[in-house]
A and B are shown apart, each in its own frame.
Chain A
Amino acid sequence: MDKKIGVYICTGCDIGDSLDMERLVKACSPPHETKTHEFLCSEEGTKIIHDDVKNEGVNTVVIGACSPRAMVDAFRIDVPIVERVNLREHVVWTHEPKEEATQLLAEDYMAMGIVKAQKREPAEPHIEDTSKAILVIGGGATGMTAALEAAAAGYEVVLVEKNDSLGGHLAGAYKDIPSQAPYRDLEAPLAAEKVKAVEAESKIKVFTGAAIDKVAGQPGLFDATIKTGGGEETLRVGSIVLATGATPYDTSKLGHLGYGSSSNVVTSAQMEEMAARGDIIRPSDRKKASSVTFIQCAGSRDKDHLPYCSANCCTNSLKQAMYVREKNPDAEVTIIYRDMRTPGNNELFYAQAQEDPGIFFTKGDVTGVSGNGGRVAVTAENTLMGENIRIESDLVVLATGMVPTTVEDPILNLQYRQGPALPDLKYGFPDSHFICFPYETQRTGIYAAGTVRHPMDTAGAVQDGAGAALKAIQCVELVSQGKAVHPRVGDETFPEFFLNRCTQCKRCTDECPFGTLDEDEKGTPKPNPFRCRRCGICMGSCPERIISFKDYSVDMISSMIKAIEIDEDEEDIPVVIALICENDAYPALDMAGINRLKYSPYVRFIPLRCAGGTNLVWISDALSKGVDGIMIFGCKHGDDYQCHFIKGSELCDIRLSKVQETLDRIQLEADRVKLFQLSINEYDKIPGLIEEFIEALEEFGPNPFKGM
């Protein structure tokens, strides 16, 4: 594309008052024409740009104004390339007005913006003939809901259930907890009603007694092979909802709670089956049980078993206690809990269960369970009674936790280079980002919902089914337009590989958090563009720098670094570049600006899609150019990870450790390059971090490569 660049600078919001606009305009042009306006985001202001596009043939626009996170609609210009330069939050709101250092900062940012605009190419979406059908795996409450919701929205659905009939765990349940106000009365399980609805829906093709043999391809182009008793069938689908649920914790590990040694010790799942069959009995002699003791957290919240809380067992035991009393009003029910956890409205249900005079509650740590002639004795310590207690009853129910089905079996059998299973973040639950992106797994286009995602009750599962169906729809729609799904929704760029120079080092295939790349026999990466989330981690990993996007490449960032003016005579003035994560650090910097926090004017920020996209060549380019220090702001890693792309910040840290070794070798201080973990709300820490870094640089002295 032959570019005609137009540069537009807003002088409002203190920009004009803080900077010497004449100098700034002069620095930007020639060869580009630079125009200013006191209120560029106004109708009158943007008209200047629109007119130039229409009349002057401007097709590449550089706007120096506020943060690109602000005034998005006003600056939506109908040209292939619009580059925003943040003169407001990055410059005038955070630095002293009318000072030389502030002026130089603004000029550098404009230069960097212009050079990026020069390097950028218009995005060309990757379009293929994709499928919009949705595959739902698992015919329980979640899966049936997902299938019904997707069908109701007009999408073809394939529903695969491993059992011979639909319904999942609920199909065999006796009662369910209340799903609506006032959250007091037990309800009939909703399975039957949903099964009927699924069977009546013509857009849902149901496979029962079926399993997924394998899934190959990418979003929009998944080929799922379904194996049934009668053979196999391969279907093309656009996205997948994984709703295979959870299984109760392995009973063979519950010997310490009497399971196996007495037949009168059962699990909550067995209790449910017994209730569905009829009377609550003690299995040893099949007599009616007149006393039942529930042991909560059986194999849960225990480092030797399931370390997590399954969130539903307490409510489930309350439900079972209630129907034991319903079936036999003389029965005495005891519940020994660690902490009664009844999330959300289930608290009301707990209050209701408490009202029953025949249900006895105590907190306690169970120390032993032993059978004794039909009766089972449970001993517990740390109880509310203030002493160690022993309770004897006819039946003991162990409230066991949930284990996601994906722990035992990859289920999907993905034909991905990175393996057949969905990666997990913790405890085996397939997940990519628990808080920000529910349902997202680490495989694009595959959405986990229901208890396979995290433990929940039926209401949660139903909600999950609907939510995941919406994500699956969003996926097939965006993919059909060649756009990124999430988190960079609508991004039309995708990574392009200049494979002639590929050395088959496999770093990109290994490091991609989403398993985007397969490879051929020689080990050359084979991209699957629809699996990609456009984070650029592959771009950062490539030592040959052969991976780039139309608007984001190694060369572009290098050129921006080179566009920074370094006055070699001013040795006392440090030059720092900061590569910043645009998901957390960038908004934090904007907030620092909004709060008018002041920090050093010697730092130039360059946003990255993810700190994991940091290519080491930028570090060497910067240092050899004479930059004194390089800060990298990534997001927080560790347990409370925040990365939009799983672990970009951690990857960056690993890469930097190698750079620091090199720096040591060439007698440069390793701390000239440093990664900072900054979460989105820590804007107030920014000035301190910068100040500290610059102080350290001053101690090191100027970069010896300066002026070489």
Chain B
Amino acid sequence: MSEAQLIKPDLGYVKEVMNAGGESLKKCYQCATCSVVCELAPDGKPFPRKEMVWAQWGQKEKLVNNPDVWLCHQCSDCTAKCPRDAKPGEVLAAVRRTAYQHFAWPGFMGGLFSDARYLPVLFAIPAVLIWLVMAANGGSLSPEGPIVFSKMMPITTGVDLLFLPFAFLALFSAFVGLNEFWKGMDAQVEASVPRKGFVPAAKELLGELIFHATFKKCISSANRSTAHMLVFYGFIGLFVTTNIVLVYEWGHKLLGLHLPQTPLPFSGLGLPPKIIGNVSAIALLVGGVLMINNRMTNKKDNPASTYDWVFLSVILLVGLTGFLAQLTRLANMAGLAYPIYFLHLVFVFYIIAYLPYSKLAHLLYRSLAIIHAKNVGRDALTLAAPAAVAAVPAAAVSAEPAPEAGETAEEKKENPEASA
């Protein structure tokens, strides 16, 4: 018997999770239906049952350093089957939100994302900054002549000078937070557990990511993986497009490469980024609309929180304003095109600069958590499960004690840290 661990209930963190969208968490009475119905939970110490009791007791340290809350893809099978309407899927999402805030660097950024009240501030920051940079470049929302967005705000000395530093700052902040997260996760797993290595684990993750293999296991919200894939690839496409333009612009400026003027024409060298950009934007828009539709139709099982809606709206608005900016430009509607482009920049800033704090951070945290899980062989159990089930009939008699043995191994794993 291991030494008893002192448990201090933390009412403050309980309330934090409740405010972050997990208001139903106290309803859980630990029947573990959620862990049983979850398709993604590993066999040993599955989630989300244990996360629910930790959340009820405000066990923040356990939760924010717990990779399991990230293995959850919020299929909401658990929420659909919960007899007590405790919505484990929502609670885990809320725990993830508190985790971004916990690992946020600098800390006050986490604070800004902890309450819907601060939303106007979050949008005001880019709006003011962009306005200032625009003004500094001598631009305005209504330049004369044919519509060229760089007349409002030049790309290199305007957009890039503002966005690039914030992008690098965001990456650095993310790195600081992720580093803490990795250390926290790793401390939970005994040193003697063999590590696969970061790179092989990351490769496995990529393999799954391409077709969203894990996400497809969801039952209650199976079509979500399609929507997510559209948005995911839409983002990648737009990232590629942006970088092509970045290379064009800076290549022209610094290396004197002869390149077409912005706006890029729908021909010649301008064509590939146009195609990639537009196809990606459409994917993003379609995916975003699908996501909203899913949330509307599955209201009961998957009641999206304010955070969820804000982020979803930003995604949709980035796509929409980008697309509309292009259309109004082509239609020569200057009165609309420039303000829309301005808004587009605001939303893009939100996505780039707030990467480590907004819901987009799941891209980083989830990836890292899955890599960690693969590194220590935790979620391999999930993948091995079907094979193990298939093997049961052959050894029906000996199959019974097998999971128990697994449990004890897990327990052993847990015990030293309990005493440590």
Shortest beta-carbon distance, A591 to chain B, in Å? Answer: 37
B419 to chain A, nearest CB (A): 10
Min CB distance A91 to B, Å, is 51
- The residues of A that contact B27 with a CB separation of less than 8 Å are 351, 354-355
In the bound assembly, the distance between CA atoms of A102 and B347 in angstroms comes to 95
* B residues with CB within 8 A of A: 1-9, 11, 14-15, 18, 26-30, 45, 50, 53-54, 56-57, 59, 84, 414-415, 418
Q: Contact check, A390 vs B414: say whether CB atoms are below 8 A apart.
A: no
Contact, CB under 8 Å: A385 / B26: no
Q: Are A390 and B53 within 8 A (Cβ)?
A: no
Number of A-B contacts (CB under 8 A): 73
| A387 touches which of B15, B28, B56, B418 (Cβ 8 Å) | B418
Distance (whole angstroms) from the CB of B41 to the closest CB of chain A: 14
The A105-142 residues at the B interface (CB cut-off 8 A) are: none
List, in ascending order, chain B residues with CB within 8 A of A354's CB: 26-29
Bound complex: CA A386 to CA B57 (Å): 13
Q: How far is the CA of A533 from the CA of B396 in the complex (A)?
A: 57
- Which one, A32-40, A185-193, A358-366, A518-526, is touching chain B? A358-366
Q: Say whether A379 contacts B4, CB under 8 Å.
A: yes
Q: Are B30 and A363 in contact (CB under 8 A)?
A: yes
Distance (whole angstroms) from the CB of B54 to the closest CB of chain A = 7
Cβ–Cβ < 8 Å partners of B59 in chain A: 385
Please tell me if the beta carbons of B30 and A387 are within 8 angstroms of each other in the complex: no
- A363 vs B2: C-alpha distance in the bound complex, in angstroms? 18
Q: Within A316-349, which residues are at the interface with B (CB < 8 Å)?
A: 330, 332, 334, 340
Q: CA A235 – CA B30 in complex, angstroms?
A: 56
For B2, the closest partner residue in chain A by CB is A388
Q: Which residues from B are CB-within-8-Å of A350?
A: 29
Q: Does A20 contact B (CB under 8 A)?
A: no
B380 CB to closest chain A CB (Å) equals 21
The reply to whether B7 and A391 form a contact with Cβ atoms under 8 Å apart is yes
A357 touches B26 (CB 8 A): yes
* Contact across chains for A386 and B5 when beta carbons are under 8 A apart: no
How far is the CB of B19 from the nearest CB of chain A, in Å? Answer: 11
**Which residues on B sit within 8 Å (CB–CB) of A362?**
53, 57
* A428 shortest CB reach to chain B, Å: 32
Contact B2 A385 (CB under 8 A): no
Within 8 Å of chain B (Cβ to Cβ): is A381? yes
Tell me the minimal C-beta distance from B189 to chain A in angstroms.
15
Task: Give the chain B neighbours of A682 by CB distance below 8 A.
Answer: none
Query: A356-B26, A386-B45, A388-B418 given. 4 additional CB < 8 A pairs?
Result: A363-B30, A388-B5, A389-B7, A392-B6
| Chain A: CB-nearest residue to B30 | A384
The reply to whether A360 and B5 contact each other, CB–CB distance below 8 Å, is: no
Q: How far is the CA of A387 from the CA of B50 in the complex (A)?
A: 11
Chain B nearest CB from A334 CB (Å) reads 7
Q: Which of A355, A387, A391 contacts B26 (CB 8 A)?
A: A355
B4, A351: Cβ atoms closer than 8 Å: no
With both beta carbons as reference points, the residue of chain A lying nearest to B417 in the complex is identified as A387
A: contact size bracket: 20 to 34
| Max count, chain B CB within 10 A of own CB: residue among A332, A361, A386 | A386
Of all A-B residue pairs in the complex, the 5 with the closest CB atoms, nearest first, are A390-B4, A388-B4, A379-B4, A384-B53, A360-B9
Q: How distant is the Cα of A380 from the Cα of B6 in the complex, in angstroms?
A: 10
Residues of A with C-beta under 8 A to B14: 357-358
Q: B9 near A332 (CB under 8 angstroms)?
A: yes
Tell me the nearest residue of chain A to B17, going by C-beta: A357
- Rounded to whole Å, the gap between the CB of A290 and the closest CB of chain B is 11
Residues of B contacting A384 with CB < 8 Å? 30, 50, 53
Q: Could you say which residues of chain B place their CB within 8 Å of the CB of A334?
A: 9
Nearest chain-B residue to A368 (Cβ)?
A: B4
* B7: A residues at CB distance < 8 A: 385, 389-391
**A-B residue pairs in contact (CB < 8 Å), sample of 15:** A332-B9, A360-B56, A361-B29, A362-B57, A367-B4, A381-B1, A385-B50, A385-B57, A386-B414, A387-B5, A387-B414, A388-B4, A388-B418, A390-B7, A391-B6
Kindly identify which residue among A357, A380, A381, A388 contacts B15, using a CB–CB cutoff of 8 Å. A357
Chain A residues near B418 (CB, 8 Å)? Answer: 387-388
Complexed CA–CA distance, A387 and B53 (Å): 12
A360 and B30 contacting across the interface, CB-CB below 8 Å: no
With A361-B56, A387-B5, A390-B5 as known contacts, state yes or no: A340 contacts B11, CB within 8 Å. no
Of A340, A358, A387, A391, chain B has the most CB atoms within 10 Å of the CB of A387
| Distance of B122 from chain A, by nearest CB (Å) | 27
User: Mask for A364-384, Cβ within 8 A of B = 1, else 0?
Assistant: 000100000000000111001
Instruction: List the B residue with the shortest CB-CB distance to A331.
Output: B11
Q: Are B2 and A387 in contact (CB under 8 A)?
A: yes
Which B residues touch A355, using CB under 8 A?
A: 26-27
- Closest-by-CB residue of A relative to B6 is A390
Please tell me if the beta carbons of B54 and A385 are within 8 angstroms of each other in the complex.
Answer: yes
Quick one: closest B residue to A384, CB to CB?
A: B53
Q: How far is the CB of B416 from chain A (nearest CB, A)?
A: 12
* CB-defined contacts of A387 to chain B, threshold 8 Å: 2, 4-5, 414-415, 418
Expressed in whole angstroms, the minimum distance between the Cβ of A373 and any Cβ of chain B is 15
Task: Check if A388 sits within 8 Å of B1, measured CB to CB.
Answer: yes
Chain B residues, CB < 8 A from A351 = 27, 84
| B9: A residues at CB distance < 8 A | 332, 334, 360
* Closest beta carbon of chain B to A422's beta carbon, Å: 39
* Central interface residue in B4, B11, B29, B30, by most chain A CB within 10 Å: B4
**A392 surroundings in chain B (CB, below 8 A):** 6, 8
Instruction: Please give me the residue from chain A that is nearest to B32 by CB atom.
Output: A384
Inter-chain CA distance A389–B27, complex, in Å, is 22
B54 partner residues in chain A, CB cutoff 8 A:
385
Q: How far is the CB of B299 from chain A (nearest CB, A)?
A: 22
Hey, which chain A residues are within 8 Å of B53, CB to CB? 362, 384-385
From A340, A360, A380, B57 is in contact (CB under 8 Å) with A360
Most buried by A among B2, B5, B7: B7
Bound complex: CA A361 to CA B9 (Å) = 10
How far, in angstroms, from A304 to B150 measured CA to CA in the complex? 85
Cα of A340 to Cα of B28 in the assembled complex, Å: 13
Give the residue name and chain of the A residue nearest to B12 (CB): A357
Query: Which one, B29, B56, B414, contacts A340 given CB within 8 A?
Result: B29
**Which residues of the other chain, A, contact B11 by a CB distance below 8 angstroms?**
330, 332, 357-358
Q: How far is the CA of A330 from the CA of B9 in the complex (A)?
A: 12
| Interface-central residue, B45, B50, B53, by most chain A CB under 10 Å | B53
Which residues 469-506 of A sit at the B interface, judged by CB distance below 8 A?
A: none
Contact with B along A657-677 (1 / 0, CB 8 A): 000000000000000000000
Distance between B266 CB and nearest chain A CB, rounded to angstroms: 58
- Nearest CB on B from A124, distance (A): 61
Query: Which residues of B sit under 8 angstroms from A386, Cβ to Cβ?
Result: 45, 50, 414
Nearest-CB distance from A359 to chain B (Å)?
8
Residues of chain B within 8 A of A381, CB atoms compared: 1, 4
How many whole Å from B262's CB to the nearest CB in chain A? 55
Contact partners of A332 in chain B: CB under 8 A: 9, 11
Contact A389 B30 (CB under 8 A): no
Q: Which residues of B contact A389 (CB under 8 A)?
A: 4-7
Minimum Cβ distance to chain B for residue A391 (Å): 6
Contacts of B57 on A, CB cut-off 8 Å?
360, 362, 385
Q: Which residues of B contact A356 (CB under 8 A)?
A: 26
A329 (CB) vs chain B CBs: closest residue? B11
Contacts of B84 in A (CB 8 A): 351
In the assembly, what is the distance between CA of A379 and CA of B6, in Å?
Answer: 9
**Who on chain A is nearest to B13 by CB?**
A357
Docked complex Cα distance between A391 and B4 (Å)? 9
A358 to B57, CA, bound (A): 9
Q: Which residues on A sit within 8 Å (CB–CB) of B414?
A: 386-387
Q: Considering the complex, give the chain A residue whose CB is closest to the CB of B28.
A: A354
